[in-house]
Amino acid sequence: MGLAVGLSGVAFGAAAVTAGLSVPQACVLSLLAFTGASQFALTGAVGAGGDLVAATAGALLLGSRNTLYGLRLADLLRVRGVRRLVAAQGVIDETTAVSLAQPDPAAARAGFVATFASLYVTWNLTTLAGAFGTSFLGDPGVLGLDAVGPAAFLAILWPRLASGPELRRLAAVAVAVALCATPFLPPGVPVLLSAAAVLVVMAR
Chain-centre distance of CA 195, in angstroms? 15
92 with 191, same domain: the answer is: no
Candidates 153, 175, 115; CA nearest to 14 is 153
CB 3 within 8 A of CB 31: no
Query: How many Cα atoms within 13 Å fall on the side-chain side of residue 37?
Result: 19
Same domain, 134 and 177: no
Tally of domains in the chain: 2
SS3 111: helix
Q: Taking CA 92 as the corner, what is the angle to CA 77 and CA 134, rounded to the nearest 5 degrees?
A: 140
User: Is 158 within a domain?
Assistant: no
Does some domain include residue 36?
Answer: yes
| Boundary residue ending a domain (129, 151, 173) | 151
Q: Which domain, by its residues, includes 185?
A: 163-204
Assess whether 61 and 128 both reside in one domain. Answer: yes
Amino acid identity of 142?
V
pTM equals 0.72
Q: In this predicted structure, what is the pLDDT of residue 29?
A: 93
CA-only gyration radius of the chain, Å: 18
Residues 11 and 83 in one domain: yes
Q: Please check whether residues 24 and 83 belong to one and the same domain.
A: yes
pLDDT digits (tens, 9 = 90+) for 15-70: 888 888 899 999 999 999 898 878 888 887 787 777 778 778 878 877 888 888 89
- The answer to the question of residue 86 being in a domain is yes
**Residue ranges of the chain whose pLDDT lies below 70:** 137-157, 187-188, 201-202, 204
